[in-house]
Structures are given as structure tokens and as C-alpha cells.
Amino acid sequence: MVKSIIPGDDKDTCFICGRKGVTECHHLCHGSRRAAADRYGLTVHLCHRCHMALHDTGRYDRELEQLAQKSFEKQISHEEWMRIFGKDYTG
């Protein structure tokens, strides 16, 4: 797995609530886009509580997708984002 390109991500700290300790890796793009998210470092570390809340309710999902796109485009380009992921989350 590639190191996260998301600013502020720390494998020992929950990206959402800031809790220190054991975390789980969350891919910011889902489904068929998950492998590309992994390949480009579009992941953050979450505590179990925040990770389950995100998957169960979708809380923070849109914001994290937008952050993934902005981080990718800052390093690469919007055109490449659209070619790989095919969806604009910033609009």
C-alpha cells in the first residue's frame, strides 16, 4: 500500500476525531475506484468508531471524497483524476 497523500494523515491518529491508538485504513474512493485509491495514496487512518460510523451512515464520506480529489489534483491534474476516477466530487 502506498503512503497516504492526504495532508494530516497519521497512521496512529484518527483523521476524523483525533483519537490516538489503533487505527484502520479507509479508502477515500469506493467500489471499482478502491484499487486506484490505494495505488495513489488516497487513504486516511480512522479509529474503529469513526470508521464504522462512516460506513454505516456515510457521515464525512462526501468531504473525504472531495479531499481525495483536491489532494490528487494538487499533485497530478484534474484531467488525470477524471480519466482514472471518472467522477467530479468537488462540484
pLDDT digit string, tens, across residues 44-75 = 999 999 999 999 999 899 999 999 999 999 99
Measured CA to CA, the distance from residue 20 to residue 34 in angstroms comes to 25
For 72-89, the pLDDT digits (tens) are: 999 999 999 999 999 999
Residue 74 forms part of a structural domain: yes
Give which of 40, 19, 54 is closest to 85, Cα–Cα: 40
63: its cell numbers? 468531504
Angstrom distance (rounded) from CA 54 to CA 57: 6
Look at the chain and report how many structural domains it folds into: 1
49, part of any domain: yes
| Residues of the domain holding 45 | 1-78
Burial of residue 79 (CB within 10 Å: 0-12, 13-18, 19+) is: exposed
Q: Answer yes or no: is 12 within a domain.
A: yes
Q: Is residue 83 part of a domain?
A: no
